[in-house]
Chain A
């Protein structure tokens, strides 16, 4: 059955080049997977095993994918739709593989597979800019992940080549050489961190996210970054099992904070709103890594959930704006709030959510992180500086696009209700964050 879940997304190729069939398959297959997945919890087959954390990310990815696939129906023309849906199917298959994997080597294979599939998403229509972005992404992503593979090999060697299986590794890792493990973790953090978009390894991220077509950007930011982050979660848990969490924590805190501060600076002076959103992804993945470094995996999980929802909403909104206005720059878009509320209200509120305003869940996550960081006042202070920078960077574009001067447009046949749905979920999560669920997931991650 697990193999079935792995291969399910590939059935999208049955739709051939017929757009209607492709949309139906791309919406129904992930929903089917999301319904099927809870039934397979705890099952094992070869190197695959689904546990709570994997299930959480698998369902999140599936549901967001279905929503994005549906939204993309109105976004792509008949001729170019198949490229998006085919590459999307490959990507979803790779993501399924990563979340189902219960073997460190297989996890690596699927993370790299998701890089390759998403390169196709970035490339999409071609053209000089998209080609440049794709090339950069492919080269940097592959080198990064190759360094990660060195880390995997070192872990395997440190376990005396006994196993790469997740649970067995956790049991054995206590007797492995701690110095070697530290080296391996540093390489793994650099490797998977490249794909998470941590500073200073983020060079590919803004280009790829800005040049990909809107729905693909939403997939990249909302679901792909999580795949690499998930690998980091697993390895941090492994370090914790080896009793080396303090070492891992130091690295995670440093990289997380650096990414936050760097993204805060980059957010300034961004003229294009999609690049702005890309840097905001870098910021929030940095914050999630920081939360993990604080020793609060539940908070890191919660942060990635809130970020995925808010960023998907923002990128779908941005692709709507781009489709209607054909303007990439912030300065050429204005007055969305009043002229086109069906699109403008959720988009502007998504920016507010990403900026960390209440009542949205990222506010709650950031508040909890500051609270925990108070043990180290300097860290908490830097964290607050970073948050302030990032918020100020988003505030200008938010007011300009929402309330500034600009021409009004008419909405095309875009499924704007998808934006409102995401907004409602965000609101609910912010008002009533399901902390217990995430703390239960933390137990699964940390002890099994």
Chain B
């Protein structure tokens, strides 16, 4: 249990750091690390059940390796600066992140179900969801919005793990596949956005109104 506690706290730390970093490379590495930690949580909960091990492995391969690799490749090909551009300063983002985490821990108590196998994971999962949303609305580069979505999605994964031993394996795999397809599609779109508009700044995409 000690180990799981530490792992869950480490997951929270990666989520918090992802909001504060100013370099996209660092954010992607933190995301990869987060997935490795989540895979370990999944192994830790396994207690001999095969489907945890498989879900953890799939997570590790798909989200810990393949998606970060794809994002790095994308970033190199795009030839844009690797800096995170946002509407908020670092200190203000951190303050907001702290508030959101506090909120998640406050509300998390309501979300914890009586039979949850990992109750301490629930508020952390909610924190990741809220922090992911914060990244999505406060950042300008299309690629950092994708990273926000991915962090949010990890929150949902951790919630499934903490509340109910994870979803059935085939559902879990379907969800992961959807996430992977979404990221791939987003990558293709980002290329087109760069090609057509010459930038990847979603704040400057405002032709459609009303």
Residue ranges of A at the interface with B (Cβ–Cβ < 8 Å): 47, 103, 105-106, 108-109, 112-113, 116, 119-120, 123, 126-129, 131-136, 138-139, 142-143, 146, 149-150, 152-154, 156-158, 160-161, 164, 177, 180, 183, 206-207, 210-211, 266, 269-270, 275
Partner of B136, one of A116, A143, A149: A143
**Which residues of B in the span 50-76 have a Cβ within 8 Å of any Cβ on A?**
none
Size range of the chain B interface in the assembly: 35 or more
A-side contacts of B164, CB under 8 Å: 153, 156-157, 160-161
Q: Tell me the complex Cα distance, A211–B175, Å.
A: 28
CB distance from A204 to the nearest CB of B (A): 10
CB distance from A223 to the nearest CB of B (A): 20
Q: Tell me the complex Cα distance, A331–B193, Å.
A: 31
Q: Which of B21-29, B96-104, B151-159 contacts A (4 or more CB under 8 A)?
A: B151-159
Residue ID in chain B nearest A275 by CB atoms: B210
A-side contacts of B145, CB under 8 Å: 139
Q: Is the interface of B mostly helix, strand, loop or mixed?
A: helix
Beta-carbon contact of A135 and B115 below 8 Å: no
Q: Tell me the complex Cα distance, A138–B181, Å.
A: 11
Residue interface bits B149-169, CB-to-A below 8 A is 1, else 0: 100110010011001110110
Beta-carbon contact of B196 and A128 below 8 Å: yes
Taking the complex as formed, is B197 at the interface, i.e. its CB lies under 8 A from any CB of chain A?
A: yes
- Give the tally of cross-chain contacts (CB within 8 A): 122
CB distance from A227 to the nearest CB of B (A): 14
CB distance from A231 to the nearest CB of B (A): 15
B-side contacts of A108, CB under 8 Å: 171, 175
Beta-carbon contact of B171 and A109 below 8 Å: yes
CB distance from A170 to the nearest CB of B (A): 18
CB distance from B175 to the nearest CB of A (A): 6
B-side contacts of A105, CB under 8 Å: 167-168, 170-171, 174-175
Beta-carbon contact of B133 and A143 below 8 Å: yes
Taking the complex as formed, is B3 at the interface, i.e. its CB lies under 8 A from any CB of chain A?
A: no
A-side contacts of B168, CB under 8 Å: 105, 164
Can you give 12 contacting A-B residue pairs, CB < 8 Å?
A: A105-B167, A105-B168, A105-B174, A129-B208, A131-B192, A131-B197, A135-B193, A146-B153, A149-B156, A156-B167, A207-B208, A275-B210
